[in-house]
Amino acid sequence: MTQNPVHKTFFLLRAHSKINYQFCKLISLAGKAWNQRHIEICRVFTTQSGRMNRLAKCKVIFEWALSLLVLCFVLSSPKIAVAADIGNCLLCHKYPGLSRIEGDKGIFRLLYVNEKTFNSSMHAKVKCEGCHTDIKKIPHDPAKKVDCLTQCHIIEPSSEQKFSHKDVAQFLENSVHGKLDETKQLKKFPEDRPTCKKCHDNPLYRPVSLNKTMMPGISDQSIGRCRVCHKKDEFIYRFYNHVTTRLRRSRNPKNITEVCIRCHDDINLVKRHGMSIKAVATYKESFHGKAAEFLDERIPDCLDCHVNRGESVHQMLSAKNTLSSTHENNKYKTCSNIECHPKATPRLAQFKVHAEFSKTQDPKRYYFESAFIILTGGTLLPLLGIMLLDSIRRLFPTLSRRRKK
Ligand code: HEC
Ligand code: HEC
Ligand code: HEC
Ligand code: HEC
Ligand code: HEC
Ligand code: HEC
């Protein structure tokens, strides 16, 4: 269906009118019905053309006329002449209406790429075809899934090799999240071997407002220091940002937990791997997690504890692994990180960072916390009662239950 020329022009028509997203969605819903109708018409048109009813005939003629009209418009428009240029993807994809309804379930798929968001994204310097390598002609065929390990045209200066994310894949492979288990067999369940896109869901397609939580580089003010010698602002911004966004994490601790929560609080996955806790829920219960909720960026997130200092964040290891930063013998070294608890002793590391509020897991803490809840409730509730009664008396000083004589 997607290759039908009528269909294609329909989308182009919508793409070129400046209708907003919501409106487009409405049309798309109508388009869904239209689509089904369209399939019928196509069938009639190709196999049973002799028995086509008048309405269908009119519709087909109308559609072809419309398509021709649009095609003329498209071909005569000077801008579109550039469309032959493969690189100019945004020519079409910058229109918020570019979308289609897919499959039997009628999934609405937005194919619009926000130019501004893209240009301020991590991959702004990569050409569209750098990732969408299979798109070689316009109009193009349905695209294949993007492979994050594709070599791109950018040359990494220190090795002069074409750049790719292969190293990251290697780190990931050596970590708990790799594709193979201890016996070097492919892990059975797909959710046990997270792919790049699973953790890095493309921010391009997130609502723009979400991008605002990304932390900027060190400080825009210090850019003035580069201007002393470098003259072009574009060069300065590009390299300054390239370096500074890597000096610290671009996500705050809260965002990081959102990456892990999908799997690590999934009760099926937790059970299947014999993990004792829902990692994110228990982190959120802890002091660290509470501070992270308030966007305190000094607080350790999952990566600060689970990645050895100076290693790729992808190289997380099981606590059972003797090389792991969370292994029994290494834990206190992790806590005594200069930015955290410099005076930490092995005793501090006995503290359970992922303790659950449960009787079986940690009875001592359970009774301690329960006692606190009872104490707090026991003091506050009577106090509230007294305040309520007091307010009633103040509001209605003459109120009395006894009948006046
Ligand atoms: C002439 C306009 C035009 C240009 C230029 C264009 N596209 Fe598209 N693109 C479309 C339309 C229309 C669709 C929807 C196709 C459909 O529904 O059949 C689409 C769909 C897509 C999809 C989703 C397709 C799928 O089947 O999953 C991707 C990915 C894509 N385009 C990438 C690109 C890239 C990368 C470039 C530049 C190399 C590009 N496009 C240039 C019009 C264009
Ligand atoms: C860094 C790699 C990268 C670059 C550069 C890139 N894309 Fe994509 N694009 C992706 C990924 C990943 C997806 C998600 C679908 C997938 O896995 O293939 C995607 C999906 C899409 C889709 C389909 C949207 C959907 O909902 O599936 C369109 C359309 C698209 N890209 C267009 C573009 C255009 C236009 C450009 C250039 C302005 C571009 N892309 C640049 C990686 C990239
Ligand atoms: C288990 C989740 C997870 C998986 C799977 C994953 N990443 Fe990451 N990645 C992260 C986190 C978390 C960060 C740190 C984000 C930050 O600094 O804000 C990160 C950071 C990065 C960075 C920035 C440099 C760095 O190391 O800090 C790159 C590049 C990257 N990932 C690429 C990839 C690629 C390519 C894949 C697939 C081979 C992949 N990631 C798979 C979680 C993951
Ligand atoms: C005192 C002058 C001076 C200041 C200030 C300065 N640079 Fe440079 N920069 C240079 C010189 C000179 C070179 C060329 C060095 C060479 O080729 O060995 C250079 C090279 C570079 C390069 C390498 C370019 C290439 O293609 O090889 C980058 C990137 C860069 N500077 C970024 C910055 C940034 C970002 C800042 C601000 C934080 C900055 N510079 C501040 C003088 C300066
Ligand atoms: C797509 C699912 C998925 C995501 C997302 C994910 N993990 Fe995992 N993680 C797993 C699975 C499955 C295991 C168990 C692997 C095994 O035992 O083979 C695991 C194991 C771990 C372990 C080792 C536990 C142990 O045995 O001691 C740590 C630590 C860990 N993950 C941390 C993280 C952090 C931090 C994040 C977020 C940046 C994250 N994971 C994101 C699926 C995921
Ligand atoms: C303050 C350090 C610290 C932080 C922050 C932290 N962890 Fe842990 N985590 C540990 C330690 C230490 C262990 C080993 C078990 C223990 O000693 O409690 C562990 C164990 C785990 C386990 C294995 C649990 C089991 O029963 O097998 C997983 C999974 C895990 N963490 C995931 C996460 C995720 C996801 C986050 C972020 C929400 C996170 N951790 C944040 C220190 C931390």
Helix, strand, coil share (%) of the chain residues, nearest 5: 50, 5, 45
- Quick one: 117 and 170 in the same domain? no
Instruction: For residue 183, report the distance from its CA to the centre of ligand 5, in Å.
Output: 18
Ligand 1 centre from 101 Cα, in Å?
A: 14
Q: Are residues 285 and 190 in the same domain?
A: yes
Among the candidates 94, 121, 148, a domain finishes at: 121
State how far the alpha carbon of 115 is from the alpha carbons of 99, 212, 369, in Å. 16, 16, 52
For the segment 323-340, what is each residue's pLDDT rounded down to a tens digit?
999 998 888 888 888 778
CA distance 276 to 360: 11
The first and second tokens of residue 47, run together, are 């196999």
* pLDDT value of position 26: 53
Burial of 362 (0-12, 13-18, 19+ CB in 10 A): middle
| Residue identifier of the C-alpha nearest atom 6 of ligand 6 | 302
pLDDT at site 199:
85
CB of 154 within 8 A of CB of 160? no
Secondary structure (H, E, C), 143-174? CCCCCCCCCCCCEECCCCEECCCHHHHHHHHC
User: pLDDT, tens digit, for every residue of 189-209?
Assistant: 888 888 888 888 754 444 444
Q: Which residues pair with 186 in a beta bridge?
A: 180
C-beta 102 within 6 A of ligand 1? no
Residue 295 maps to a domain: yes
Ligand that comes closest to the CA of residue 10: 1
Are 123 and 138 contacting, i.e. CB atoms less than 8 angstroms apart?
no
**Looking at the 3D structure of the chain, how many domains does it have?**
2
Kindly give the number of the ligand 2 atom that is closest to the alpha carbon of 197.
12
* Positions of the chain with pLDDT under 50: 1-25, 27-28, 31-53, 56, 67, 70-85, 203-214
Give the pLDDT score at 31: 47
Task: Tell me how far apart the alpha carbons of residues 83 and 198 are, in angstroms, rounded to a whole number.
Answer: 33
Q: What are phi and psi of 155, to 5 degrees?
A: -100, 130
- The pLDDT assigned to 314 comes to 92
With the most atoms of ligand 3 within 8 angstroms of its CB, the residue from 152, 263, 314 to mutate is 314
Identify the domain containing residue 101 by its residue range.
Answer: 5-121
Judgement on whether residues 106 and 187 belong to the same structural domain of the protein? no
- Give a yes or no: residue 404 inside a domain: no
The token pair that represents 112 in the structure block: 């619009």
Q: Which residue, among 198, 162, 157, 159, has the nearest Cα to 177 in the 3D structure?
A: 198
Question: Domain end: 121, 137, 153, which one?
Answer: 121
Distance from the Cα of residue 212 to its chain's centroid: 13
Question: Is there a cis peptide before residue 139, judged by omega within 30 degrees of 0?
Answer: yes
* Domain contains 264: yes
With respect to residue 356, please indicate whether it lies within any of the assigned structural domains. no
Whether residue 185 is found in the same domain as residue 310: yes
Long-range CB contacts for residues 268-275, cutoff 8 Å, separation at least 24: 269/191, 269/192, 272/189, 273/192
Asked whether residue 79 is domain-assigned, the answer is yes
